Amino acid sequence: MLSVRDLNITFSSQANIVHAVKGISYELEEGQTLGIVGESGSGKTVSGLALMGLLPPTASVTGEILFQEEDILQAEKKRLQKLRGSEIALIFQNPLAALNPVFTVANQMIETICLHHNVTKIEARERAIALLDRVKITEPHKRIDDYPHQFSLGMCQRIMIAMTLSMKPKLLIADEPTASLDVTTQKEILELMDELKEEYRMSMIFISHDLGVVLERCDKVLVMYLGNIVEQGHPKEIFLNPKDDYTKRLIDAIPKINA
């Protein structure tokens, strides 16, 4: 489904040039979940944004990103706009930053559904209510007319997931979707994403600091450090028998509960 080959990303400014991603390559098969782990600044999020063509004008990208044998880096602007959401979708780390505070949830979901599907606003509203119910928002027929600030952070993340699912993507990029949530809400969101991934038969790229979550939920894992992939493979093999010194330090940094 996805093949990334020798991906390089640099950012230029008047002062200097920053090499954020340095020649990374990986494959993702249909239905698989790929975990990308590493410390802040290692290039995880930047490499994910490159898949959707969402990097700023100061970024320079070379290499190949083949999505279903189509090179995204060579795609025209109109084609990229069509790819975003309908085929490749992104769940942001902070749902409150992604939702517009001055519009109701109904307004934002209906606009998204109408943009990607040939339906009326009435049909789009019905779909939106069904999706909110699917992600376990209570009384969705009433709450759909609320504003984002009237929901908790966890509920806002559920709304973002519902909006993403409304586009029926083939590949979902989840950029630390539970980082700002409490432990109980994290568990609920992760279990919900697992259910929806199976139900909608999506492939997923899961970007996270949480090695435990990646070990439990991913088929493959990439460990990134300073823009490089230092290790990749099956999560259990890497976490039980890490070969790279950075991976070892990353695992040693996990808090341990001693008897």
pLDDT for 259 beyond 60:
no
Each residue's pLDDT tens digit, 72-82: 999 888 888 88
The predicted structure's pLDDT at residue 184: 84
Domain map of the chain by residue range? 34-51+77-252
The predicted structure's pLDDT at residue 121: 94
Q: To the nearest whole number, what is the mean pLDDT of the chain?
A: 89
What is the average pLDDT across 105-133? 92
Alpha-carbon distance of 127 to 109, in angstroms, equals 9
Percent of the chain with pLDDT over 70: 99
Q: What is the 3-state secondary structure (H, E, C) of 115-149?
A: HHCCCCHHHHHHHHHHHHHHCCCCCHHHHCCCCHH
CA of residue 246 relative to chain centroid, distance: 24
Q: Domain 34-51+77-252 belongs to what architecture?
A: 3-Layer(aba) Sandwich (3.40)
The residue count of the chain comes to 259
pLDDT for 239 beyond 70:
yes
Q: What is the 3-state secondary structure (H, E, C) of the chain?
A: CEEEEEEEEEEECCCCEEEEEEEEEEEECCCCEEEEECCCCCCHHHHHHHCCCCCCCCEEEEEEEEECCEEHHHCCHHHHHHHHHHCEEEECCCHHHHCCCCCCHHHHHHHHHHHHCCCCHHHHHHHHHHHHHHCCCCCHHHHCCCCHHHCCHHHHHHHHHHHHHHCCCCEEEEECCCCCCCHHHHHHHHHHHHHHHHHHCCEEEEEECCHHHHHHHCCEEEEEECCEEEEEECHHHHHHCCCCHHHHHHHHCCCCCCC
pLDDT for 192 beyond 60:
yes
Q: Cα-flanking dihedrals φ and ψ of residue 175, to 5°?
A: -95, 95
Each residue's pLDDT tens digit, 136-187: 899 999 999 999 999 998 899 899 988 888 888 899 999 888 877 788 888 8
What is the average pLDDT across 212-222? 88
The predicted structure's pLDDT at residue 43: 92
